[in-house]
């Protein structure tokens, strides 16, 4: 069941602002029937004194663990931080809040199966948060509910309460960072639209963004927080939005190169570099094994005199067997294959064939000499020794 259009905004959380991409209504949902936590004002499942978030906190403290959900940063520490440091932690808090929101969405969608409510059809709106919570509470209090149904309903309420707590904490962190940004007069920021041709904006509320069916995806370029507009425009290059940065010139990637790259861009660049490195390694291996300067296969040619073969009779059009001089060629991808051919032909071919193939032998000898820094005479002597050894082995 789709839950994308449910309103899950927590009561008391300010809407809009620097990090809002669209305005949504606020829904106030009460879970009073489930009870109140003894340590906070959050709701609890029936029969529980603490909410799921506080139970986890108490358990972590008992076991000596550090709670993963930290309290909002104190104002004194924020005041000593640079804009880039503040926005770096803010970016982490925003990602954590988005993760917590997705978990809360999943908890609500998963709770649909534990409510006992009839499933919705594809053309019907999904159940709202209040309907889900009331249905879970009804199932828990109903005498007709089986024990396993009560356990699942309570677990669903706990998951929803834990999701609420995590979202509230992370949004409080975001509010603390945002308050510091406002206190200092709102330093400059840079937001890069993810994608190959995304532009850099001073905020995520630019009029050129969020025009499609889905909100525009941004990457917070925290290393540029607090920089002058001129520095941001220079670094952004052709990516600089002329609406957000009126001083930005208009150009192309060639005329105005950029130094701002999204994670997707960097991943593509890394993948390209890895492919090029592998290609260079393959080429180096070809050069090391081959006989040419660029690693391409070596080709030798010679003319076989009075060689047999099949030709087509120009008068009848039929293929006939005939003897004539024929052009022959051989290709070697590696030095080893060239040497093996050289030895095989010297041992197995007759004197006439050997004489015909002399240009090919000389080409191989010259290539070996150039590769190993030796003279042709030295290479010829080494090959002659190998030919003699091959003859001895085959004569046994």
* Tokens at 143, concatenated: 């005498």
What is the number of alpha carbons within 13 Å of residue 14 lying toward its C-beta? 11
Reduced to 3 states, what is the DSSP secondary structure of residue 394?
helix
Dump pLDDT digits (tens) for 304-354. 999 999 999 888 889 999 999 999 999 999 999 999 999 999 998 888 888
CA distance 367 to 337: 13
Residue 275 is predicted with a pLDDT of 97
Query: Minimal CA–CA distance to 88: which of 264, 205, 223?
Result: 223
Q: What is the CA radius of gyration of the chain?
A: 38
pTM here is 0.58
Dump pLDDT digits (tens) for 184-217. 999 999 999 987 789 999 999 999 998 888 889 9
Reduced to 3 states, what is the DSSP secondary structure of residue 305?
strand
| Helix segments in the chain, DSSP class H | 52-62, 75-80, 83-115, 129-141, 147-183, 229-236, 263-289, 335-348, 351-356, 358-372, 376-395
Buried b (16+ CB within 10 A) or exposed e, 56-92: bbeeeeeeeeeeebeebbeeeebeeeebeebbbbbbe
Mention every residue, 6+ apart, whose C-beta is less than 8 A from residue 190.
200, 201, 202, 221, 224, 225, 227, 232, 236, 260
Give the number of other CB atoms < 10 A from CB of residue 190: 30
* 8 A C-beta contact, residue 302 and residue 328: yes
Dump pLDDT digits (tens) for 144-186. 888 888 888 889 889 998 999 999 999 999 999 999 999 999 9
Residue 24 is predicted with a pLDDT of 36
Query: Minimal CA–CA distance to 131: which of 54, 31, 46, 36?
Result: 31
* Tokens at 390, concatenated: 């091959």
* Tokens at 46, concatenated: 């029936």
H or E element in which residue 218 lies = strand 218-220
């Amino acid at each position: 069941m789709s839950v994308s259009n449910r309103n899950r905004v927590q009561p008391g959380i300010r809407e809009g602002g620097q990090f809002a991409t669209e305005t949504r209504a606020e829904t106030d949902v009460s879970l009073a029937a489930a009870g109140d936590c003894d340590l906070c004002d959050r709701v609890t499942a029936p029969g529980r004194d603490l909410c799921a978030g506080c139970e986890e906190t108490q358990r972590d403290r008992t076991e000596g663990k550090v709670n993963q959900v930290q309290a909002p940063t104190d104002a004194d520490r924020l005041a000593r931080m640079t804009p880039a440091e503040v926005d770096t932690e803010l970016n982490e808090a925003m990602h954590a809040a988005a993760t917590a929101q997705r978990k809360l969405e999943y908890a609500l969608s998963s709770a649909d199966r534990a409510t006992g409510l009839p499933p919705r059809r594809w053309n019907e709106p999904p159940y709202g948060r209040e309907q889900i919570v009331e249905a879970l509470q009804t199932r828990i209090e109903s005498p007709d509910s089986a024990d396993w149904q009560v356990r699942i309903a309570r677990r669903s309420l706990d998951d929803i309460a834990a999701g609420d707590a995590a979202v509230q904490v992370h949004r409080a962190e975001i509010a603390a960072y945002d308050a510091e940004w406002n206190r200092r007069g709102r330093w400059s920021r840079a937001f890069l639209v993810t994608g190959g041709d995304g532009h850099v904006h001073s905020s995520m509320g630019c009029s050129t963004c969020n025009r499609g069916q889905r909100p525009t995806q941004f990457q917070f370029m925290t290393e540029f927080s607090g920089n002058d507009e001129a520095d941001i425009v220079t670094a952004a290059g052709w990516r600089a939005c002329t609406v957000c940065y009126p001083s930005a010139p208009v150009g192309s990637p060639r005329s105005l190169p950029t130094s701002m790259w999204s994670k997707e861009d960097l991943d593509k660049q890394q993948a390209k570099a890895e492919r090029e490195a592998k290609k260079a390694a393959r080429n180096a291996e070809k050069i090391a094994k081959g006989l040419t300067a660029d690693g391409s296969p070596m080709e030798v040619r010679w003319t076989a005199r009075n060689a047999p073969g099949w030709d087509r009779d120009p008068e009848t059009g039929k293929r006939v067997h005939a003897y004539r001089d024929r052009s022959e060629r051989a290709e070697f991808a590696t030095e080893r294959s060239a040497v093996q051919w050289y030895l095989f032909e010297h041992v197995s071919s007759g004197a006439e064939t050997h004489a015909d193939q002399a240009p090919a032998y000389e080409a191989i000898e010259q290539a070996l000499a150039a590769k190993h820094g030796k003279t042709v005479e030295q290479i010829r002597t080494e090959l002659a020794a190998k030919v003699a050894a091959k003859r001895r082995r085959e004569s046994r």
